[in-house]
Structure 1
């Protein structure tokens, strides 16, 4: 996965019922899931065509004890996980799981930004090129969105960590500014201060590309998903919807047509 320092390179769903989640996302997003074949690991891969885009695993015991709900986690590629983890701490974030190796896969750490939004740092073990999907390909993750504790302090944190660049800022009226950001010359996401009426703590959300939004919403509803916001049209002509899966994990869908 050689997208360079600061690119999102992997996504992972930790949930309470992996079999149900596997069937749900395969149907809603159009992924085909396969067992990872990693010895001793119950880990499922979600593929778009023959390209791996995300993983699925059971919530660890300690997370269940802490009442952490099922959630999607984004992995951001770095040049050196240990250096990046120290930098997170220096810039006011926290390291929740110290850097460790996944044999023959890579090295990772689980961290939070200064207001508590969780993400992972990752550096792959091999030099092998992973086949890459176009950002807007069906089944890929087309957009990354941070509901931030405070945009004014969070943006500089991510800028300093990953070299992300400020793109256009969209004025959302009472909700404040929705700040687009780019990496490697491409817009990859947006962030805004979390509206007061959103009950969750600050969090990263991920938008899965589908062919047509209404049909995907119907598939989600039929399998026990719930729409929490939308559908709505966004600048650039795409349509989005914010949802919760049957186990309670937030996810989002994006399509160029209803």
Structure 2
């Protein structure tokens, strides 16, 4: 299996990392530690032995950046992928930059405005399905959603950038059609339109994290000061999902086999 185009990291940017640890730890079973980076309070979240996510102070992000989750995709060549993004009409928000001992990363914007990260990891530390991305184990990233004005055009952009392929589609109410895409034949996410509303969000990516049982996780979300924005929703024959917001405003989704 090629790691090119496989999700490999999830990064939270909020103002209060201590509060974030207290929120995400019980819900996702994460244990947090400091990354030990000089001059930057970067945190690492583990599910069991796997490192699954990072935490970054919001004040190091560009002014006006809201609390958010950033999805990173593994690429073989960070510089070439960033250049390809620009050639395809996208934007390079953060030029390729080295992370000592880890690899090289960049932050990209697609032609419709959704932002996503890319990561070229060093050869001795390749991304792994048992790392941040694991569709079978609670506490890991398990699905991606793209919401944008033109999802077919969006997925064509990402096909050229990462090699993702449209896999199936089904009706999605006001959002129109939900288009599922796959990495080397394995379904990893979907894309849909923005819908028709007076308060439609900007184009964006949404990460899903798995939990053992959705109802219990949603109870924890509200008890810990977060909010349930949408769901629970049953994915026929597959799972139950819900979109939620943490107490600081970062939005993500939860998914479970058991309601």
With the length of structure 1 as denominator, give the TM-score of the two structures: 0.94
Residues 1:252 and 2:253 are matched in the alignment:
yes
What's 2:95 paired with? 98
- Contact conserved, 2:226 with 2:246, CA < 8 A, in 1? yes
Moved more, 180-189 or 2-11: 2-11
Q: Please state how far the C-alpha of 1:206 moved relative to its aligned partner.
A: 0.8
- In structure 2, do the counterparts of structure 1 residues 131 and 176 end up closer, same or farther at CA, with 3 Å as the change threshold? closer
Could you tell me which residue of structure 2 aligns to residue 72 of structure 1? 69
Q: How does 1:132-211 map to 2 (within 5 A)?
A: 132-133=129-130, 134-197=134-197, 199-211=200-212
Question: What are the Cα deviations for residues 154-203 of structure 1, in whole angstroms up to 9, with x where unaligned?
Answer: 11100111111111111224431100011022110111112233532111
Shift of 1:31: 1.1
RMSD over aligned CA atoms reads 1.6
| Number of residues of Structure 1 aligned to a counterpart in Structure 2 | 255
Preserved CA contact (<8 Å) 2:17 2:55: yes
Task: Determine the C-alpha separation between the residues in 2 that align with 1:23 and 1:168.
Answer: 38
Instruction: Return 5+ residue gaps in structure 1 as ranges.
Output: none
Give yes or no for contact 2:211–2:217 (8 Å, CA) kept in 1: yes
The runs of 5 or more residues in structure 2 that have no matched partner are: none
- Runs of 4 or more, structure 1, over 6 Å off, are none
Given the superposition, is the C-alpha separation of residues 122 and 131 from structure 1 closer, same or farther in structure 2, using an over 3 Å criterion?
Answer: closer
In structure 2, do the counterparts of structure 1 residues 47 and 62 end up closer, same or farther at CA, with 3 Å as the change threshold?
Answer: closer
